[in-house]
Amino acid sequence: MQLSTGDAEAPGRGPRVLVVGGGIAGLSAAQRLYQHGAFPHLRVLEATARTGGRIRSERKFGGMVDMGAQWIHGPSQGNPVFQLAAQYGLLGDKEMSEENQQVEMGGHLGLPYVSYGSSGQSVSPELVENMASLFYTLLDQTREFLHVTDPPVPSVGEYLKQEVGRHAASWTEDQDTKKLKLAVLKSFFNLECCVSGTHTMDLVALGPFGEYTMLPGLDCTFPEGYEGLTNCIAASLPKDILVFNKPVKTIHWSGSFREETLPGETFPVLVECEDGDRLPAHHVIVTVPLGFLKERMDTFFQPPLPSEKAEAIRKMGFGTNNKIFLEFEEPFWEADCQSMQLVWEDALLLEDAAADLQDTWVRKLFGFLVLPTFGSGHVLCGFIAGLESEFMETLSDEEVLQSLTRVLRRMTGNPQLPAPRSVLRSCWHSDPYTRGSYSYVAVGSTGDDIDLLAQPLPGDNTEAQLQILFAGEATHRTFYSTTHGALLSGRREADRLISLLDAKGQPPQPRP
Ligand SMILES: Cc1cc2nc3c(=O)[nH]c(=O)nc-3n(C[C@H](O)[C@H](O)[C@H](O)COP(=O)(O)OP(=O)(O)OC[C@H]3O[C@@H](n4cnc5c(N)ncnc54)[C@H](O)[C@@H]3O)c2cc1C
């Protein structure tokens, strides 16, 4: 592959920068560097045939559905994704309204419209509301351990269960009602596993949990799909900057590499691609997901990463959250129903994944959101996290459809409930270039590990500075797991390179 772009390729006219990964982090880094103007030799190497990464919208059911990111979390002026979406005209009037931007959600989701119990009876809304209130009060408390040197228990899950136990001790109802309350709480735990992208909240570290920062604004979606945003960023770049179907195999760094067409010039980094191409560079911005790094870091970097960075990657959390869309001929829900919760009445709060997932995986599904009515169908979107979610990925569409039909017939108490006419689901864990959904701060790690991952290489003040830079959602200490965290991380690393260039006295040539 040639990286030449005519005149701009003349040696000595600015550093060669390669961005690995064309998700929102990689695209934002490239956009920033391109706009600066002093980086004529810029390429984004993307493993797949598309940009967007975990932002992926598909035309389906007569509308657009998002297989990955769905909401702008905290859509207000302090959120760069909101700002950019507004600038590109991708949001509706309601999302843009001042009123929307001022809502403080505190990370809490609204109450389900209906909670189906596994006995086929719906659970009393009052009981659900009380349990939601208890759950979110306790969850808020977990954020208060941020500056506590010795939190009472290691994980958010253990803290929540301990406190639920204390509350339950004072419940005065009959045994069945108490059991039902715990089963409803279990469903909220399942939901929180989706939010945190983890198998169990017992894996999520208590001390650092409060470091994740929430922005004001009522979470909103993109009417035409989230991918419109990454498409707009990609469209702001010249076409030849984006190189598709170019998986990177190994990044050789701390070397002295040459290219035939540029005799006399040496480069500290060489990017080796799966197709055999070898691309020398001065700087490489790595934006691949943490799941990919966990699996491949031993062969992805040559020489290997310094031990403390490798250890941080091993310790940090990265789990799976998937969506399952079901399309129905006719809705079985009320016209104003926006979400439904599934409550397994025999569920025990302390119970974790059963050994045999074949029969039990569906129990991890929190429930469904009702999507706005599409042209041709009525669509529910279910969320499922953890090992059960990864097991679901191994099943066929037909098996998933049949299992969920059985669940819905049981929960609604209607054995004749028509089966959905089609199913669509994400499989983020099986995706070789993602290997899961998003990051969290796991027990045994802290925000310092996020910062360690974000540190460029080499760490010392060698001549060839900033050979490898790290961006991506998992490198943002307070907005990890989000699109805005990913976007900011890309800009952060671009700015780091720009500062280096400024320090060397190379003038920018800003582009419009
Ligand atoms: C189901 C789900 C729901 C979500 N919901 C939300 C939400 O509602 N709101 C929100 O803010 N966030 C949400 N997120 C998280 C959000 O999607 C991510 O945080 C964000 O998109 C990550 O962007 P990124 O650029 O860091 O990584 P990615 O988007 O993963 O981009 C990395 C890119 O690197 C490429 N790549 C990997 N390996 C290689 C290689 N070897 N060579 C070349 N290229 C490579 C990949 O193909 C990919 O395109 C959700 C994610 C999922 C999975």
Domain span including residue 123: 114-213+321-425
pLDDT at 118 over 50: yes
Whether the predicted pLDDT of 137 surpasses 90: yes
The pair of three-digit structure tokens given for residue 261, joined into one six-digit string? 């067409």
Cα–Cα dist 372/349, whole Å: 33
3-state secondary structure of 266: coil
The predicted structure's pLDDT at residue 273: 98
Q: Check residues 350 and 509 and name the one with the higher pLDDT.
A: 509
Strands 367-370, 339-343: pairing is antiparallel
Task: Output the pLDDT for position 350.
Answer: 63
Cα–ligand 1 centroid distance for 487 (angstroms): 11
DSSP 204: B
Tell how far CA 233 is from the center of its chain.
19
Q: Which atom of ligand 1 is nearest to the CA of 71?
A: 8
Is the separation of the CB atoms in 478 and 14 below 8 Å?
A: no
Please give the distance of CA 157 from its chain centroid, rounded to a whole number.
20
Judge whether 204 lies within some domain: yes
493 with 470: CB under 8 angstroms? yes
Q: Which atom of ligand 1 is nearest to the CA of 70?
A: 8
378-385 and 367-370: which strand pairing? Answer: antiparallel
Q: What is the mean pLDDT of residues 69-80?
A: 96
Task: Kindly report each contact of residues 127-135 with a partner whose C-beta sits within 8 Å and lies 24 or more positions away, as own/partner.
Answer: 127/177, 127/180, 127/181, 127/184, 128/184, 128/341, 130/181, 131/181, 131/184, 131/185, 131/188, 132/188, 134/164, 134/167, 134/185, 135/160, 135/185, 135/188
Instruction: Tell me: pLDDT of 512 over 70.
Output: no
Is 494 inside a domain boundary? Answer: yes
Q: How far is the CA of 510 from the centre of ligand 1 (A)?
A: 29
Q: pLDDT, tens digit, for every residue of 13-28?
A: 689 999 999 999 999 9
Residue that finishes a domain, picked among 425, 451, 475: 425
* Residue closest to 192 by CA, chosen among 135, 146, 127, 152: 135
Q: Is the CB of 221 under 6 A from ligand 1?
A: no
Asked if 255 and 326 sit in the same domain, the reply is no
- Per-residue pLDDT averaged across 193-221, rounded? 96
Structure confidence by residue, pLDDT tens digits, 352-376: 656 789 989 999 999 999 998 777 6
63 lines ligand 1 (CB under 6 A): no
- In this structure, are 136 and 10 located in the same domain? no
- Look at residue 6 and tell me whether its pLDDT is greater than 70: no
pLDDT per residue over 464-483, tens digit each? 999 999 999 999 999 999 99
- Residue 470 covered by a domain: yes
pLDDT of residue 5: 38
Q: Strand pairing partners for 327? A: 379, 422
Assess whether 360 and 416 both reside in one domain: yes
Strand partners, 243: 45
Which of 483, 488, 489 should be mutated for ligand 1, with most atoms under 8 A from CB? Answer: 483
**Same domain as 496, residue 367:** no
23 CA distance to ligand 1 centroid (A)?
Answer: 6
Statement to judge: residues 303 and 325 lie in one domain: no
Radius of gyration of the chain (CA): 24
Residue 78 lies in a domain: no
389 domain-assigned:
yes
Ligand 1 mean position to 311 CA, how many Å?
Answer: 22
Per the prediction, the chain carries an average pLDDT of: 93
Measured by CA distance, the residue closest to atom 41 of ligand 1 is: 248
Q: What is the pLDDT of residues 155-197, one digit of tens each?
A: 999 999 999 999 999 999 999 999 999 999 999 999 999 999 9
Please choose, from the candidates 233, 210, 257, the residue with its C-alpha nearest in 3D space to the C-alpha of residue 107.
Answer: 210
CATH number at residue 193: 3.90.660.10
Ligand 1 in contact with 76 (CB < 6 A)? no
What pLDDT shows up at residue 351? 64
- Does any ligand 1 atom lie closer than 6 A to the CB of residue 439? no
Q: How far is CA 66 from CA 48, 170, 226, 412, in A?
A: 18, 43, 7, 27
pLDDT bin (cut points 50, 70, 90) of residue 201 is: very high
288 CA → ligand 1 middle, Å? 8
Measured between its terminal Cα atoms, the distance across the chain in Å is: 29
The last residue of one of the domains, among 425, 456, 480, is 425
CB 436 near ligand 1, within 6 Å: no
Q: How far is the CA of 26 from the centre of ligand 1 (A)?
A: 10
At 9 the pLDDT is 38
Check whether residue 326 and residue 421 sit in a common domain. Answer: yes
CA torsion, ordered 125, 126, 131, 134, to nearest 10 deg: 140
Alpha carbon of 316 to ligand 1 centroid (Å): 16
Residue with the smallest CA separation from ligand 1 atom 36 is 21
Residue 76 belongs to a domain = no
Q: Are residues 207 and 332 in the same domain?
A: yes
Question: Is 85 among the domain residues?
Answer: no
| Mean pLDDT (whole number) for 19-38 | 97
pLDDT in tens, 274-305: 999 999 999 999 999 999 999 999 999 999 99
Specify if 197 maps to a domain: yes
Is the same domain home to 134 and 191? Answer: yes
DSSP codes of every residue in 158-178 = HHHHHHHHHHHTT--S-HHHH
Distance, CA of 502 to CA of 60 (rounded, Å): 47
d(CA 410, CA 417): 9
Atom of ligand 1 nearest to the CA of 48: 47
- Of ligand 1's listed atoms, the one at least distance from the Cα of 471 is 26
Give the span between the Cα atoms of 52 and 59, in whole angstroms.
Answer: 15
Q: What's the CA-to-centroid distance between 256 and ligand 1, angstroms?
A: 32
Residue found under tokens 């990955």: 68
Same domain, 266 and 176: no
Mean pLDDT of the region 245-252: 98
- The predicted pLDDT at position 1 comes to 55
475 lines ligand 1 (CB under 6 A): no
398-443 per-position pLDDT tens digit: 999 999 999 999 999 999 999 999 999 999 999 999 999 999 999 9
> Of 425, 458, 491, which residue constitutes the final position of a domain?
425
Residue of 27, 54, 321 to test ligand 1 pocket, by largest number of atoms within 8 Å of CB: 54
Same domain, 194 and 232: no
Percent of the chain past pLDDT 70, that is, above it, reads 95
**Within 13 Å, how many C-alpha atoms sit on residue 402's CB side?**
7
How far, in Å, CA of 103 to CA of 109, rounded? 13
Is 48 touching ligand 1 by the criterion CB < 6 Å?
A: yes
SS3 for 408-440 is HHHHHCCCCCCCCCEEEECCCCCCCCCCCCEEE
Do 306 and 327 have their domain in common? no
Protein residue whose Cα sits closest to atom 1 of ligand 1:
68
Assess contact for 346 and 410: CB atoms under 8 A.
no
Amino acid identity at 382 = G
Q: Which one of 288, 365, 435 would you pick to mutate in the ligand 1 pocket, going by the greatest count of ligand atoms within 8 A of its CB?
A: 288
Q: CATH number, domain at 274?
A: 3.50.50.60
Highest mean pLDDT among 145-154, 271-280, 340-349: 271-280
pLDDT tops 60 at residue 145 = yes
Same domain, 206 and 179: yes
The count of domains in the chain is 2
- Tell me the three-class secondary structure of 87-123, residue by residue: HCCCCCHHHHCHHHHHCCCCCCCCCCCEEEECCCCEC
Query: Phi and psi dihedrals of 278, rounded to 5?
Result: -125, 115
